[in-house]
Structure 1
C-alpha cells in the first residue's frame, strides 16, 4: 500500500500487514497516477490533498529560513465550530463493549466486564479485535533523514556539531520550580505526614476505646457513635492513603536536567492526535511542533485526524505550503461503520504503522501531542537524553500544564498537585506513568507490549503500566515542556474526570491490580504498590459517597455522636482531635508548596463533590448488570454535550436559569442540592433539640458539642465542597478567549501562551473556602482551650 499510489512493489505489499479495510488510508482519488517513491513524498500538497498521501513540498530549508510573509498570517480556515476547544479524550467515548485489551504475550485480550468475558475470549483471534501486529521497521537506522534530498552531514558542517552528545544543565530537572527555602520546608513534609497519620489514628483509637468503655459502664449501645466513627474514618481514608504515599518524598529523586546537543540526533515521529477539535487549535499545535529546536530532517510531524475533517486537511496543507514545512503530514485512517476502531488507541496504532511506509521508514522514537498541547522549543532535546542514556528507558514524559485555567480554578481542573507532587514521587520510585501528552516512546518498547492497548479507557496509563510489567523503565521529566487547554465547560470536565477514573479502574482490573499475572511478570515491587493504591483510590469513591450520605442521617437521629465514660475521656478526645487537626494543617502547608496551597485545597474539595459522579460511573461500568442500567462506558450527562452554555464567556454565556437547569438536572447537580439541604436541616434539627431539651447553659453546650458541633466541624467543609457545582452555575468564572491568552512569536509565527496565562491566579472563591478552613481550625482550638475547664 503506497502513499496515494497504486504503483506498489511486491516488497512494499509484503511489508504492509494491514489488509483490513478500516485500517487503510483514505482511498485515493488519483489512484491511476504513476508516481515514484521519491515523488510520492515530495509532490505538491494540492495533489497530496487529492490522492491521500498528504506529504509536503519544497526544497531544503532550515528553521532560520522562515518566510517573513507568513509570519503573522494564519492559514485560511473555516473556524465556525460550535464544539469549542475540547480534546478527544474529553469528548468521545472509547472502545465499545467487548473490546479486548491486548497483552504482549500471545496477544491475548484482557478480561473486562464479567458478562462480556466470553465475548472477549471469543474475539481473541478476530482480526478486528486485535488488528495490530508487530511489524519490522522500514529502516532501523536511528540517525537518518526523514525528508528526501536532505543531508544531515551538510547541516553538521554548517554548525560544526557533527556528533550528538548529552549535556547536564543541572543536577535536578526541576531546580527552577521552587526557591530553596520552599524546598527546605517541603523536605519536612514526610515527617509531618507521618505525624499526621499517627495523630489521626491515635484519635480514632481513643474514640473506639472510649465508646467501648462507655458501653461497659452504662450497659447501653451507641450505634450512632459507631456510625459517626465509620463515617469519619471513611472520609479520612483517601487522606491516609495519599499521606502514606507522600512519605516516599523521603526517597531522593535523582533526575538531572539534560539537553541533547548537536545535529546528528535520533529521528523521531511526532504524532498530533485529534478528532473534531477546533481546527485553529490543531493548526497552532502542528505549527509549534514544526518549529521546535530539532533538525527538521530528523523528525516528522504527522497529524492523525480521527475525524477525517476536510477543513483540517486544508488547514494543514496550507500551513505546510506557506511555511515550507516538508516534515508536516496529514493522515486520516478510513473507518468502516460497525467495525471497532478503538478511538485514540487505534489512531495511535494507525500512526505507528503508517510511518513505516513514509520516506525513511519508522523512527526509533515516537512522540505524541494532544491536539491542544503546544510544545516548548526544547521539548525533544529535553526528553530524549533520558532515553539515549539508558537503552532500557521506554518512555520519558513531561507534566501536562495549561494556559486557560480560570482565576481561582473553581472546578480544580489544574493537575498541579499530581504533576508537581505525586508524579515526582512515583518517578523516584521508578513508577512514572504516561500522562497522556508530550511523551516520547521507544518504538521497540511499544512493539514489545503488542502496541498501544486497544481495550482501555486510559490507554496512556495502560501502556506505561504494561511497559513496567515487561521490565522496561519509565521516566518523568519535571520540566514545563508543553501547555494545553482544560475543558471549558462543566459537562466536559465531568466527562474527562469520570473517564480517567474508569480507565484507571478498568486497567487495574485487567492487570489484577498489579498484584499478579503474566502481563506484569517483570514489574518490580514499588510499581505494583503504586498500581494497587491508585486503583483503590478510584474505587474508594463508592464507600466514600455512602459515608457522606450517611452523615445527615446520623446528625438527624438525635443520638449522641460522641460516647465517653467520664469527662476526663471527653477532655482527651478533644485534645487528640486538636492535635490531629493542627498537625494536618501544618502538613498541608508544607506538602502543597510545589503545587500551591490553594491548589491542594481545591483538589481536596474536588474529591468530595466529584465522588457522586465518579462512584456512579464506576458502579454502572463495572458492577451493575445491563438490565439495571449498567454499561461499559464512562459517565455521560443526560444533556447534549453540543448544547453549549458558554458559561465562561461573559458576552455569550447562557442566562442564569438555563445554567441552573443544565447543571442541576442534566448534570445531576440536584444531588448536591439535596445533600446540602439535608445536612443543614439535620444540623438545625439536632441543635434545636439540644437547646430545647436541656435547662442550663452547661448542658446545652455539652449537648451541642457531642452532637452537631463536634470539632473540627467536618460537615461544614463537606457542605462547602458539595456547593461548588451550584456556585459554579450561579457565578461561573470569566475567561478571555483563547486568542487573548496567546502571543505570536515574532521569529516564526508560532502562537504560544503568555507567561500570565500559564499562572493560576488566586480568586475570591479561594478566600471564601479558606475562611471555612480557618473557622474550623479556630473552633477546634477554642474547644481545645475549653477542654481544660470542662467539669461535671
Structure 2
C-alpha cells in the first residue's frame, strides 16, 4: 500500500449523479432480494401445479419453459445486484494526482491496424498532450498495419513530442492474435530494457482527455492489490437517442459498476490502465480469444487481483455508423466469448492456472446459453399465442387464482427491480436494458457457427471500428442499397418477421378469447393472452424487435467528426463541450412510458383474478 502523501493524491467530491444514486442502494438490495425469492416461489408453485394436473398439455410445458429462460437471465442480474449491495462496497471515489514529484513511469500503448491515418493522429496528439510530465511517460504507437504513411506522420510528430515513437511487428492484418499479440509485443519485446511501472491501452479512435493519467493512477497507487483499472468509454459520434444502445450505458453503469463494487470490474478495452508487473506475471494478454481485454479481467480475478472501473468522462471514441458495422462489431465480441471454451484444450491453456479454466469456459458457455435462450424465446412466442388452449394448469378456480396472484407479484418485482437498478445507476433506461441488442442473438449464433465451422480466415483476423471499412461506408451507397444491407445482410429481416408475427399472434389470441360466448371471458383472457408473464414477454419481444424496423424507416443520423471535434491552438482535437452535455441529457422516454403502463395492467389483472 502506497501512502497518499507520497504521491500528493487529492480526493474530489462525488458527482451529483453519484450522490443521488447512492440513496437507492438499500432499496436496490431489498428489491433484488424480493425479486429473487418471488421468482423461486412462483416457478416452484407453477411446476407443482403442472405436475399435479392430469390434463397438462405440451403448451403448458413450453410456456413454463419460455418463462424460465427469460427469468433466468433476469435472475443473473438480480443476484449480481444482491451480492454487490450486500456488504460495504469497495469505493472508487474521484481522485487526482497533483504534484509532479515521485510520479510513476507510464507507457501509453496506442494500438492500430488499418484505421484512417487522420483518426489515429488525433488519438496520438491527445495522448502526447496528457497533463503529465513528458519525462515520466511515453507514447508508443503499435501499428499492426505497417503503414508507411502512418510511420512518416508519426516521425514528423516525434520531432515535436520526443516521447512519441512508432513500432510495428510487420503487417498483421488477417493474422493470428490480433490486438492481444500487438500488446504482448510491447510488453515482452519493447519494454524489456526499460520497463515502466504502469501501462495504458488506447484504441486507435479514442481521444484521451488531458487529466486521464492524473485521474486513473491514484486508484492503482493507493491499492497494491489493484492490477487493472478500466474507464467507461464515451463516444462523440453517437446519434440522438442512441437507438442501437451503442453507448453501452447499462453495462458501464449497472453491470460493471456492480462488479466494481465487488472488485471484479471487466476491462472494456480502450482506456485501461494496468500495473505492468501484474499483467506480465499473468502471462500477458490471452491470445485464445478476440475479447482479450475481457479474458484478462477473468484471469486477474482468478489470481486474486482487484480490477476496478471509474465512471468519469476521461476518453471519447467512435461507434460504427451503420447497422451492418454495429453487427460486425458485436459478432466479434460474441465470437470472442465463444472462444473461452477453448481454454479447456491443452494447447490453449498453458498460461492459465488450472482452477481458472473451468470458470472461464463456463462463463463463455453462459453467454452462449443466453443467446440461445433469446433466440428460442423470440421464435417460440408467436407459435404459443396462435395455438389453442390455456397456458396454465386450471384444475380449479382456486389454483388459477393462486398462480395468477403469484404471477402478478413475480412480474411486479421484476419491473420494480428494473426501476430500482435504473435509479441506482442515476440514469433512465429503456425497459430491461440488460436485454439490449438481444434482437441480434440469432445473428450472433449464426456468426459463431459460421466462424468455427466454416471460417476461412485465420483466427483473430477481424478489424472493426474503422470508418474506412466497407461496412461503415454510408455515403457511397443509395438509401435502397443501405436498406438492403441493413435488413438482408445483418439478419434484421428475421426481426421484422418476428415483430409482425408477434403482434399478429397477439391480435389473433385476443380475438379467439373474446369471441367465445359465456361468462368465462375474463378467466379465458387471464389464462391465455392476458397471462401477466406472457404480456411481459410480448412487450420484451416487441420492443426489441422494433429496433431494426425503426432503424430501417428512420435511420439514425451520425454526426461527422468535424462537427463534434474542436481543435486547440496546439492542433489537438477534443470533443466539443456540447458532447458532454448531450451525454448527461439523454433520456429513455420509452422506459418512462412503459413503466407507467405496467402498474395499470398488473392492477387490472389482479382485479380480474379476484372477480373471476
TM norm. shorter chain > 0.5: yes
Q: CA deviation at 1:266?
A: 2.0
SS in 2 for 1:519: coil
Q: CA deviation at 1:311?
A: 3.0
Matched residues, number? 597
Which of 355, 367, 388 is the matching residue for 1:558?
388
Structure 1 residues 594 and 654, CA, compared in 2 at 3 Å: closer, same or farther?
farther
Match status 1:659 vs 2:482: yes
Q: CA deviation at 1:729?
A: 1.5
Q: CA deviation at 1:616?
A: 2.7
In structure 2, C-alpha distance between the alignment counterparts of 1:657 and 1:386, rounded to whole Å:
51
Match status 1:245 vs 2:80: yes
Which of 526, 530, 542 is the matching residue for 1:705?
526
Which of 155, 158, 161 is the matching residue for 1:325?
161
Which of 198, 203, 209 is the matching residue for 2:42?
203
- Give 4+ residue runs of structure 1 displaced > 6 Å after superposition: 527-531, 629-637, 761-764
Which of 264, 283, 298 is the matching residue for 2:102?
264
Match status 1:724 vs 2:550: no
SS in 1 for 2:431: helix
2:140 corresponding residue in structure 1:
302
Instruction: Provide Cα deviations, 1:464-493, integer angstroms capped at 9, x if missing partner.
Output: 333333444433334332221222211121
Structure 1 residues 491 and 787, CA, compared in 2 at 3 Å: closer, same or farther?
same
Q: CA deviation at 1:180?
A: 3.0
In structure 1, C-alpha distance between the alignment counterparts of 2:260 and 2:435, rounded to whole Å:
26
In structure 2, C-alpha distance between the alignment counterparts of 1:645 and 1:390, rounded to whole Å:
42
In structure 2, C-alpha distance between the alignment counterparts of 1:238 and 1:332, rounded to whole Å:
43
Match status 1:601 vs 2:431: yes
Flag structure 2 segments of 5+ consecutive residues without an equivalent.
none
1:756 corresponding residue in structure 2:
578
In structure 1, C-alpha distance between the alignment counterparts of 2:173 and 2:540, rounded to whole Å:
49
Which region of structure 1 is more displaced relative to structure 2, 429-438 or 186-195?
429-438
Q: CA deviation at 1:410?
A: 0.7
Does the 8 Å CA contact 2:96/2:214 hold for their aligned counterparts? yes
Q: CA deviation at 1:234?
A: 0.6
TM-score (norm. length: structure 1): 0.69
In structure 2, C-alpha distance between the alignment counterparts of 1:269 and 1:708, rounded to whole Å:
60
TM-score (norm. length: structure 2): 0.87
Which of 580, 589, 592 is the matching residue for 1:767?
589
Does the 8 Å CA contact 2:344/2:358 hold for their aligned counterparts? no
Q: CA deviation at 1:653?
A: 8.1
Does the 8 Å CA contact 1:468/1:520 hold for their aligned counterparts? no
Does the 8 Å CA contact 1:502/1:634 hold for their aligned counterparts? no
1:137 corresponding residue in structure 2:
none
Which of 510, 535, 545 is the matching residue for 1:687?
510
SS in 1 for 2:232: coil
SS in 1 for 2:146: coil
Aligned Cα RMSD in Å? 3.4
In structure 1, C-alpha distance between the alignment counterparts of 2:463 and 2:491, rounded to whole Å:
11
Q: CA deviation at 1:522?
A: 7.7
Structure 1 residues 633 and 208, CA, compared in 2 at 3 Å: closer, same or farther?
farther
Which of 223, 239, 258 is the matching residue for 1:425?
258
In structure 2, C-alpha distance between the alignment counterparts of 1:595 and 1:616, rounded to whole Å:
33
Structure 1 residues 570 and 788, CA, compared in 2 at 3 Å: closer, same or farther?
same
1:589 corresponding residue in structure 2:
419
In structure 1, C-alpha distance between the alignment counterparts of 2:383 and 2:333, rounded to whole Å:
31
SS in 1 for 2:408: helix
In structure 1, C-alpha distance between the alignment counterparts of 2:143 and 2:472, rounded to whole Å:
27
Structure 1 residues 440 and 630, CA, compared in 2 at 3 Å: closer, same or farther?
closer
SS in 2 for 1:757: helix
SS in 1 for 2:335: helix
Match status 1:344 vs 2:179: yes
Matches within 5 A, 1:157-556: 165-170=7-12, 175-176=14-15, 178-213=17-52, 215=53, 219-250=54-85, 251=87, 252-260=89-97, 261-321=99-159, 324-335=160-171, 340-353=175-188, 355-356=190-191, 361-510=194-343, 519-520=352-353, 532=362, 536-556=366-386
In structure 2, C-alpha distance between the alignment counterparts of 1:382 and 1:522, rounded to whole Å:
35
Which region of structure 1 is more displaced relative to structure 2, 768-777 or 234-243?
768-777
Which region of structure 1 is more displaced relative to structure 2, 732-741 or 441-450?
441-450
In structure 2, C-alpha distance between the alignment counterparts of 1:662 and 1:555, rounded to whole Å:
31
In structure 2, C-alpha distance between the alignment counterparts of 1:645 and 1:286, rounded to whole Å:
22
More helix by share: 2
Q: CA deviation at 1:315?
A: 3.0
In structure 2, C-alpha distance between the alignment counterparts of 1:676 and 1:545, rounded to whole Å:
13
Structure 1 residues 630 and 344, CA, compared in 2 at 3 Å: closer, same or farther?
closer
Matches within 5 A, 1:69-88: none
Structure 1 residues 761 and 702, CA, compared in 2 at 3 Å: closer, same or farther?
farther
Matches within 5 A, 1:627-646: 642-644=469-471
1:787 corresponding residue in structure 2:
609
